[in-house]
Chain A
Amino acid sequence: ETGVTQTPRHLVMGMTNKKSLKCEQHLGHNAMYWYKQSAKKPLELMFVYSLEERVENNSVPSRFSPECPNSSHLFLHLHTLQPEDSALYLCASSHRDRGGTEAFFGQGTRLTVV
């Protein structure tokens, strides 16, 4: 149990489908992150939500749409994905204001686009 829960753990979707990934943390953190991890590629930071601020990686396609309704929940909405979007999607959370504290990661969602 890492304190950060991601659902579903596995997802197979067609290129025309719409699905959402969910992340939940009850650690009292005030920053939440989405990362993409593809085979043989480095961790890619996609989006960060912290307080009223949203940070996004400009290279992330618009077919990925994040939503953060409150400090404990984070979603990643997916639509018209491509096969190259198949990857492990990791959610993380941390204290924004405590520099020496680490990020806590969820178990990830393994996404396969067919």
Chain B
Amino acid sequence: AQSVTQLGSHVSVSEGALVLLRCNYSSSVPPYLFWYVQYPNQGLQLLLKYTTGATLVKGINGFEAEFKKSETSFHLTKPSAHMSDAAEYFCAVKAGGSYIPTFGRGTSLIVHP
């Protein structure tokens, strides 16, 4: 079975500050991990993904995430927040041969001027 936990339904940062969105997964086999972003009244858009290989993954809009097997984590970071980063962020996992992704509950990122 696979599951995802996103800690914090809301994260608030100031413009220019570090963004850290947390994601922990549960899987008995090596997972594939994804981060998606959703702007209001839009669909989900892929930010980045981890499949195999390098554990530090870079995505669009300056975001990156690091796969840490020992911590079963895949936290999303960005060094400097921009107002346009305000959105809902979803972590997702696929594992064990399942082609259906399991999504976390989402974290709303609020950016203050």
Whether A100 and B41, one on each chain, are in contact in the complex, defined by CB atoms closer than 8 angstroms, is no
Question: How many Å lie between the Cα of A106 and that of B41 in the bound state?
Answer: 11
Q: Does A60 contact B (CB under 8 A)?
A: no
Question: What range describes how many residues of A lie at the interface?
Answer: 20 to 34
A107:B43 contact, CB within 8 angstroms: yes
Asked whether B99 lies within 8 Å of A97 as measured between CB atoms, the reply is: yes
CA distance A45 to B98 in the complex (A): 14
| Per-residue interface assignment for chain B, residues 39 to 74, with 1 indicating a CB less than 8 Å from any chain A CB and 0 otherwise | 001111110010110000000000000000000000
Within 8 A of B (CB), among A88-104: 88, 90, 92, 94-97, 99-100, 102-104
Please tell me which one of the listed residues A2, A33, A43, A110 contacts residue B45 in the complex, with CB atoms under 8 A apart.
A2
Query: Is A99 a contact of B99 with CB atoms below 8 Å?
Result: yes
CB neighbours (8 Å) of B34 from chain A are 102
B94 on the A face (CB < 8 A): yes
Tell me if A105 and B103 are in contact (CB < 8 A). no
Complex formed: what's the CA distance from A55 to B99 in Å?
12
Asked whether B90 lies within 8 Å of A55 as measured between CB atoms, the reply is no
B1 within 8 A of A: no
Most A C-beta atoms less than 10 A away, residue of B34, B44, B97: B44
Taking the nearest CB of chain A, how far is it from the CB of B73, in angstroms?
A: 19
**Do A107 and B99 have beta carbons less than 8 Å apart?**
no
Which residue from chain B places its CB closest to the CB of A95 in the assembled complex? B99
Given contacts A88-B41, A95-B99, A99-B94, 14 further A-B contacts (CB under 8 A): A31-B99, A42-B105, A43-B106, A48-B100, A92-B44, A94-B99, A97-B99, A99-B32, A102-B36, A102-B46, A103-B101, A105-B43, A105-B45, A107-B41
